[in-house]
Amino acid sequence: MGAKTGVIAYSSPGNPLPRLLRTPGRPDETATRALIERSFPGWHITQAEPGNLLDHIRPPEDLAYATSFPGVDLVCCDHFMIDNPSQLPAHLIEAGRGRRLVLHAMHSVVDWLAFAVWEDGRLIRSLSLSPDSGVIENLGDPFPFELPYWNGEHPVLPTPGRPDEGPYPLPFHPLELGEDALRELLGFTIEGSIEPDDAEPEDVELLGFTVIDPDGPAPEERRAQTEELTAQMGEPRIFRYQPDGSVKEVTWDDLG
């Protein structure tokens, strides 16, 4: 499992995002530029190379990818990967008045997942959790697709060959739920199983932009901070789905 996401998406009433993303329109350049300017008010914004939803759902910092076509406004950016989705900046939530707003964020290095849904500007569900931090935020009633996970139907099995390894600190693997949340809320998966009705994220064209916060640290300062944090991390862990639906940790040799 190596999926990372950082996306917010707005959809008009009565038009679920999964349905709209199955037959996506091409980005309206004027509307998409306006969407980025609304999403990052006061930031320095310049055009970058275009992309698609599969490859750019979690772009590097200082980059954002977006599309606006009838019924959909969608932005992918690292800045949406926040521990508490309910604290998404107010101007982004306000832009969802009269619409549904979905946030999905996932980071495979730390097995972290966050997603949230607002209806007409009102938060109806927010979940954020990881094995190291536990449940960070759990607001609103779980969606039906979550219930099998909370009911213990997707436990993380012990890693073969590691008898001293303790039980997984959560009742399920966040990235496994994250893939199901991605399908239910946006209509596709990154690394999960593919269903016949799934959207094709590589067919969703995105326009690219650099987005620089004038009040934030300079890009070189952020790179230095990232390198320092990376140096403090342990070796990455790699997981794969098994035929029985369980998740198993594998080594680099297993990927050869």
Structure confidence by residue, pLDDT tens digits, 160-214:
666 666 788 999 999 999 999 999 999 999 987 889 999 999 999 999 999 999 9
Each residue of 113-149: pLDDT tens digit? Answer: 999 999 999 999 999 999 999 999 999 999 999 999 9
Cβ-based neighbours of 252, under 8 Å, separated by 6 or more? 238
Yes or no: say if 237 and 249 are a contact pair by the CB < 8 Å rule: yes
Q: Give the whole-angstrom CA distance, residue 22 versus residue 186.
A: 10
Q: Give the whole-angstrom CA distance, residue 153 versus residue 149.
A: 6
Each residue of 206-241: pLDDT tens digit? Answer: 999 999 999 866 666 656 655 665 566 566 666 666
C-alpha pair distances (Å), 113 with each of 95, 173, 180: 24, 9, 11
Q: What pLDDT sits at residue 1?
A: 47
Residue spans per domain, the chain: 4-219
**pLDDT, mean of residues 68-81:** 96
Q: What pLDDT sits at residue 238?
A: 66
Q: Which residues pair with 135 in a beta bridge?
A: 129
| pTM, to two decimals | 0.83
Sign of CA dihedral 39, 49, 100, 113: negative
Q: Please state the separation of Cα 128 from the chain's center in Å.
A: 11
Pull the structure tokens for residue 40: 């990052």
Q: What are the strands of the beta sheet with 63-69, ordered from one edge?
A: 44-52, 205-212, 63-69, 72-77, 4-11, 100-107, 112-119, 122-130, 134-139
235 versus 35: the higher-pLDDT residue is: 35
Closest-CA residue to 10 (of 68, 73, 69): 73
